[in-house]
Amino acid sequence: MTGVLDRIGTGTPDWVMCAGCRTMVYGRRLSRNLLVCPDCGHHHRMGARERIAQLLDEDSVRILDTRVRSRDVLGFTDTRPYPARLAAAREATGLTACVLVARGTVGGYPLMAAVMDFNFLGGSLGGAAGELITRAAELSLRDRVPLLIASASGGARMQEGAVSLMQMAKTATALGRLDEAGILTISLITDPTYGGVAASFATLADVIIAEPGARLGFAGRRVIEQTIRQTLPPTFQTAEFLLEHGLIDMVRPRAELRATLVRLLSHGVASARRPAGSGTGGSDRAIVRDHTLLPAVDPWDAVQRARAIDRPTIAWYLRHAFDDFEELHGDRVGAECPAIVGGLARLDGISVVVVGHHKGRTIADRMAHNYGMATPGGHRKAIRLTRLAAKLRLPVVTLVDTPGAYPGVEAEEQGQAVTIAESIRQFAGLPVPVVALVTGEGGSGGALALAVADEVLVCGHGVYSVISPEGCAAILWKSSAMAPAAAAALRLDARQLLALGVVDGVVPEPDGGNGADHVEAARRVRAALVTALVPLLDVDPASLVARRRARFRSFGTAEPEVAR
C-alpha cells in the first residue's frame, strides 16, 4: 500500500489549504490520508491515475491504450479556440481525454475501470469521454468482468454541441448491454458529478456508491436557485441528501472503498457466488412439513406471540443467520423506505439477495421503521433489488414481518396498490430461486408482496392472514372485541396455514419462542433457509417460474385440508 500512497502523493505541495475547513494541512499527511482532510474529513479531488492506484491491486493495473482524442467537430471558439483548450488540458494532466480506462483486480477479483478526471476540462462529457466509457463497457462485456465507473464531471462539453449530447444515449446503451448480459456494474460518485454524466452512465449502474459530500444532480445549484428563485438547503444534492432520498445505495469514505468493492465483486463474479462445499448447513429436521406433527395452538395467542416486541428483527437475522451483508438503499426514484431492508449477503456460503421488513425492537425504533409497514418506495426498493438478483442470477430470500402495507394519504398518492401489484408480478416471474420466511406477522398484501416464492415458510409462532383479526372483527362483527374469534375463524396460525397449503413448511422455535433465545432462533432460521434453498439451485429458470406460477394458480381450485 505504500507504493499506492507514494503515487497519490506525487506532486502534492508541502502545505495545502483544505477546501472544507479552510485550515492548512501538511501535504504529505494529506497524501497519506488518501487526500482526505484529517481534521474535517473533506474529500479532496483525486486524479484518474491516483484513483486507479488507490482502488486496484498493486501490480495488477494495466492502463489500456485506447488512442482516443477529442476533436473540434464544430470549429468552436469562445474566448479561446477549442483546440487550444484541449492542448492545454493535455499538457496539464498528461491525459489525452478526461477518462482513463484500466484493467486490473480488486482483492483478487477482476475489474474493468473507467475513471474520470475533473482536471481535464472539468471532466466534461464529449465525444472522446463517451467513446472511452463505451469501450470500457464493451471490454467488460467481451471479458465478462464487472465494470466500475468513477465519475467527476461538470456536465456536457458545450464545445462539441449536439455530438456531446449523443454521448448520453451512447453510454446508456452500452450499460444496457451489460444489463442484458448479467454483468455487474458499479458507479462511484465523486465531487462533482452533474449534467449529462449524472443523467446517463453515472446513475445507471447496479450499485451506486458516493464519497461523503459528493454532489450529484442534473442541474447545478446556482442554476436551480436562479430558476426557481429559492434558497436551497446546504445539503442539497450531496451524497447524504441523495441517500436519504433513495437515489444512491451507500456513502463510503475513501478509505473504505476498496473493502466495499471487494464485498460487491464477490457477489458479482460468477465463480465466487457458490464456493465448493457451500450450502451444506441444512437439515431435514429444520422444517416441519406435516401439520399433524405440530401442536394445536390458540390462534389469538399466536397473534400475540407473533407481535411480541422481544422477537428477533431482520437486523438480528442479517447479522447472525447471514454473513457479509451489504445493505443497498433506495428505490432510485426518490424514496428510501425504512420499513424495507435489503442487499447482498451470503447464506452458508451462497450469495443471495435478501429483502425483508424491519419492524424494530423498541418503541422508538419501531416508529423510526414505520412499524414494518412498507410505503410504495419500499416495494419499489424490493422490486429493484430482486431485478438485480435476476440479472446476476442470485437466489432471493425474503423475511416477512409486517402488520401490512402502510395505509396513509401519501402512500395512496404514490400508488400503494400499484406497487404491491407490481411486486407480486415481479416475484412471480423471477428466473431465480425464491424462498420466503414469515418470521412473525404476515399481514395482508404487504406481506404477500414479498412472499410469492418457490418455498414459503413460517416460524412456529408466526401468523399469516388476509387481514388483522382486529380489522376483520371490526368489519364483520362490528366490534374489535371479537378479535380472538376472528383470529380463530381466519385460521392464521402456523399449523393451520400448513394444513391449508398456504405455507410449505414450519420452522420450529426454541422453548419459549424465538424471543426467548435469539441465538438459537437465528441458527434454526439459517438451517431452514439453507434446507429450502439448496434443492432449488439446480432447477433451471424456466422450470422455477413455471412451478411458482402453478403453485399460486392452484389456490382456490381444490378443497383445502382443515387442521384437526
Report if residue 556 sits inside a domain: no
Query: Which candidate, 180, 223, 205, places its Cα nearest to that of 391?
Result: 180
331 shares a domain with 293: yes
- The pLDDT, as a whole number, for residue 120 is 96
Residue 564 pLDDT: 66
Instruction: Tell whether 36 and 82 lie within a shared domain.
Output: no
343-356, pLDDT tens digit by residue? Answer: 999 999 999 999 99
Q: Tell me what the pLDDT averaged over the chain comes to.
A: 93
Residues 58 and 40 in one domain: no
Report residue 3's pLDDT band, with 50, 70 and 90 as the boundaries. very low
Q: Are residues 162 and 52 both part of a single domain?
A: yes
Residue 38 lies in a domain: yes
Over range 425-436, report the average pLDDT.
98
In a domain, 12, yes or no: yes
26, 50: one domain? no
Position 281 scores a pLDDT of: 73
> Rounded mean pLDDT of 330-358?
96
d(CA 124, CA 126): 6
Mean pLDDT over residues 272-291, rounded?
A: 81
| pLDDT score recorded for residue 276 | 72
549 phi and psi angles, rounded to 5 deg: -65, -40
Alpha carbon distance 294, 498 (integer Å): 10
Which parts of 463-540 fold into alpha helices (H)? 469-472, 483-490, 494-500, 518-533
- Domain containing 21 equals 1-44
Q: What pLDDT score was predicted for residue 4? A: 40
Q: Which residues of 160-169 are buried (b: 16+ CB within 10 A; e: fewer)?
A: beebbeebbe
Q: What is the pLDDT of residues 121-168, one digit of tens each?
A: 999 999 999 999 999 999 999 999 999 999 999 999 999 999 999 999
**Confidence band for 402, pLDDT divided at 50, 70 and 90:** very high
Digit-coded pLDDT (tens) for 525-540: 999 999 999 999 999 9
Is residue 25 one of the residues assigned to a domain? yes
- Cα–Cα distance for residue pair 87/140, rounded to 1 Å: 30
Number of domains in the chain: 3
Compute the average pLDDT of residues 239-251.
Answer: 97
Q: Which of 207, 235, 268 is the last residue of a domain?
A: 268
**Does 468 share its domain with 353?**
yes
- Residue 561 located in a structural domain: no
Answer whether residue 384 is part of any domain: yes
pLDDT at 6: 40
Summarised one tens digit per residue, pLDDT across range 76-131 is 999 999 999 999 999 999 999 999 999 999 999 999 999 999 999 999 999 999 99
Of 208-212, 272-276, 552-556, where does mean pLDDT reach its minimum? 272-276
Where is average pLDDT lowest: 61-65, 281-285, 398-402?
281-285
DSSP 287-340: SB--GGGSPP--HHHHHHHHH-TTS--HHHHHHHTSEEEEE----SSS---TTE
Same domain, 143 and 239: yes
Instruction: Judge whether 560 lies within some domain.
Output: no
Checking if the pLDDT of 380 tops 70, the result is yes
State which H helix or E strand residue 85 sits in: helix 82-93
pTM listed for this prediction: 0.93
Decide if 108 is inside a domain: yes
pLDDT at 416 exceeding the cut of 70: yes
Based on the domain organization, do 353 and 393 belong to the same domain? yes
- My answer on whether 241 and 352 are in the same domain is no
Cα 208 to Cα 193, 204, 278, distances in angstroms: 13, 8, 29
Q: What is the pLDDT of residue 563?
A: 67
- Statement to judge: residues 325 and 463 lie in one domain: yes
State the virtual CA torsion across 159, 201, 260, 191 in degrees, nearest 10: 30
Mean pLDDT to the nearest integer, 1-5: 37
pLDDT of residue 8: 47
Identify the CATH number of the domain in which residue 202 sits.
Answer: 3.90.226.10
Please check whether residues 322 and 379 belong to one and the same domain. yes
Q: Given this model, what pLDDT does residue 10 score? A: 52
Query: Which whole number is the average pLDDT over 464-478?
Result: 94
- What's the average model confidence in pLDDT over 401-424? 95
Does residue 105 share a domain with residue 223? yes
* Boundary of a domain, candidates 268, 289, 320: 268
Beta strands in 117-240 (DSSP E): 147-153, 185-194, 207-210, 216-217
